Amino acid sequence: MALKKLQHIEIEDDFKLIGIHCQLDGYKLAFNLNKFLKISLENFDYKIVIDNVEYTFEMFKHDSETYNTKIYLFSNKSYGNIPSFEPNLFDTINSSVYLIDEKKNIDFFLKIEGGGFNYVSMINKIQGISMVQSSYLVNLKRPKSKYNLIFE
């Protein structure tokens, strides 16, 4: 029996990731980021299936052809319903999953593809939003987390 060796595909870090701790809903955070950063984040759903359970993450996207950049705001946590196999009062069991499992304490991420941004200034503007506790650049160590950040 022949063995097949899978090659590891290296993903280039051609993006920056800002972690945001806040108590705002996604649409309110997107509205404030649009106002403070002078961008235009638009809503779209990002769905993934893990163990036959569909999870939908809040996601907003800004695409600037002028500056050749894409900015994504997305929630780190999503909830799904697992069908129950035992007859009981509840038909489903709620479960949660993290898009970036190694950073469970972060509520939202801002992924910036392309360059030309002053990230320190951007982080300071984000921290100026009420209900945002903190924001900072995030460095991912696990390759699996980087694979989860390929949206298109």
What confidence score (pLDDT) does residue 37 get?
Answer: 93
What confidence score (pLDDT) does residue 126 get?
Answer: 96
pLDDT band with cut points at 50, 70 and 90 for residue 35? very high
What confidence score (pLDDT) does residue 31 get?
Answer: 97
- Residue 28 phi/psi, 5° resolution? -70, -40
Rounded Cα–Cα distance for residues 9 and 129 (Å): 38
Count of beta carbons in the 10 Å neighbourhood of residue 115:
12
Helix (H, G, I), strand (E, B) or coil at 55: strand
Phi-psi region of 62 (alpha: psi -120 to 50; beta: other; left: phi over 0): beta
What confidence score (pLDDT) does residue 152 get?
Answer: 72
What confidence score (pLDDT) does residue 117 get?
Answer: 81
Helix (H, G, I), strand (E, B) or coil at 54: strand
What confidence score (pLDDT) does residue 86 get?
Answer: 61
pLDDT one-digit tens code per residue, 141-152: 766 667 778 777
List domains and CATH numbers for the chain.
15-147 (3.30.310)
Q: Ranked by mean pLDDT, which of 32-41, 82-91, 93-102, 133-142 comes out on top?
A: 32-41
Rounded Cα–Cα distance for residues 115 and 14 (Å): 9
The mean of the pLDDT values for the chain is: 82
